[in-house]
Amino acid sequence: MTRLVAPAKLTTALRVLGRREDGYHLLEAEMVSLDLADELELTEGEEGSEVRDLVAWVGLPGTAPPEQAGPPGANLVERALELCGRRARWHLDKHIPTGAGLGGGSSDAAAVLRWAGVADLSVAAGLGADVPFCLVGGRARVSGIGEVVEPLADGEASAFLLVTPRVHVSTPVVYRAFDELGGPRGEHGNDLEPAALAAYPELRWWRDLLGAASGSRPRLAGSGGTWFVEGAAEALGELAEGVRGEIVSGRESAFVRLARRTGPSAVQAARPV
């Protein structure tokens, strides 16, 4: 049995530069691997699969996780095995939310490619636009439709606080909204943010809630729906502990009740107790 780690990817900046005749959008982005990761176990030569969904979805009590089309991540794991011409029984512990813009399925596929010794980015691109970066990992500039990956110097380690609400965001839907809006330029480093908010207006609630808690303007990860703030690890660690009941686990609290009753803009001075 082989145990693999499939790190989440965070898109910290994204510009849409154009659109090809085949409908794919050309982009320039910066991405970084996170310590949030799926865990995959492979037993070569055997058959069978199992997925455990261990995602800590964020949301108010009583809301259900987004609907899935089959087990999360399963499709890309199977496709990667087929592409490599390998057969294996596999077990996937899913920690990266699906539809949150964190590349969970792509990273699962990239982990299979690394296990099989496949390093060709054009092969990876055949599985999805995020798979090439996930295969390389680290910190990189990504361009084309995702198949061009230029590693960047790591520099100082960054820390990110993520909020992944129970909103399953479809990347094709966001790109379609982007085209319908005439290709707007995002004011906060992500050209897809206005389109994601137009297609999924409920994302605004979580943006404002994280902004109120952190005192910073959150940014959207890729096409969404994860919001994040960046800062010093110690400060974000303290913030995560302070808001864990209100945001990270979605527990009802005075902080959340105030936002629910009066709207997120009213909680600028509120803090969890």
CATH number of the domain within which 222 lies: 3.30.70.890
273 belongs to a structural domain: no
Average pLDDT over residues 241-268: 42
Residues 263, 247 within the same domain:
yes
Strands (E), the chain: 2-19, 25-44, 49-53, 88-94, 139-144, 148-151, 159-163, 219-220, 227-231
Secondary-structure percent of the chain, ordered helix, strand, coil, rounded to 5: 35, 25, 40
Catalytic residue status for 94:
no
Query: Please, are residues 9 and 133 in contact by the beta-carbon 8 Å criterion?
Result: yes
Would you state the pLDDT for residue 15? Answer: 97
Q: Select from 94, 101, 67 the least CA-distant residue to 203.
A: 101
272 belongs to a structural domain: no
3 state SS of 135 = helix
CATH of the domain at 37: 3.30.230.10
The DSSP bridge partners found for residue 14 are 29, 190
Residues 106, 178 within the same domain:
no
Question: In sequence order, what are the residues at sequence separation of 6 or more whose Cβ sits closer than 8 angstroms to the Cβ of residue 97?
Answer: 55, 57, 104, 164, 226
Q: Select from 23, 67, 25 the least CA-distant residue to 192.
A: 25
Residues 52, 105 within the same domain:
yes
Global pTM exceeds 0.75: yes
Q: Where is the domain boundary, 116, 151, 186?
A: 151
Residues 188, 126 within the same domain:
no
176 belongs to a structural domain: yes
The DSSP bridge partners found for residue 91 are 41, 50
Would you state the pLDDT for residue 58? Answer: 52
Candidates 9, 38, 108, 191; catalytic one? 9
205 belongs to a structural domain: yes
Query: Please, are residues 94 and 53 in contact by the beta-carbon 8 Å criterion?
Result: yes
Number of domains in the chain: 2
Residues 85, 142 within the same domain:
yes
232 belongs to a structural domain: yes
Would you state the pLDDT for residue 156? Answer: 66
Asked if the model's pLDDT at residue 259 lies above 50, the reply is no
Catalytic residue status for 108:
no
Domain of 53, in residue numbers: 2-151
Residues 29, 122 within the same domain:
yes
In terms of Cβ atoms closer than 10 Å to its own Cβ (0-12, 13-18, 19+), residue 243 is buried
Q: Where is the domain boundary, 123, 151, 179?
A: 151
Candidates 38, 94, 108, 130; catalytic one? 130
CA distance 28 to 245: 36
CA distance 195 to 136: 28
Provide the token pair at 165. Answer: 């609400």
The DSSP bridge partners found for residue 88 are 44
Residues 107, 12 within the same domain:
yes
235 belongs to a structural domain: yes
Residues 146, 194 within the same domain:
no
**Cis before residue 48, ω within 30 degrees of 0?**
no
Residues 104, 84 within the same domain:
yes
Q: How many residues can be counted in the chain?
A: 273
Residues 130, 221 within the same domain:
no
Provide the token pair at 130. Answer: 């995020």
**Average pLDDT taken over every residue of the chain:** 81
- Measured between its terminal Cα atoms, the distance across the chain in Å is 46
Residues 30, 83 within the same domain:
yes
Provide the token pair at 26. Answer: 């050309």
Residues 198, 220 within the same domain:
yes
The DSSP bridge partners found for residue 149 are 142
Per-residue pLDDT tens digits for 178-198: 999 999 999 899 999 999 999
Per-residue pLDDT tens digits for 86-143: 999 999 999 888 888 899 999 999 999 999 999 999 999 999 999 999 999 999 999 9
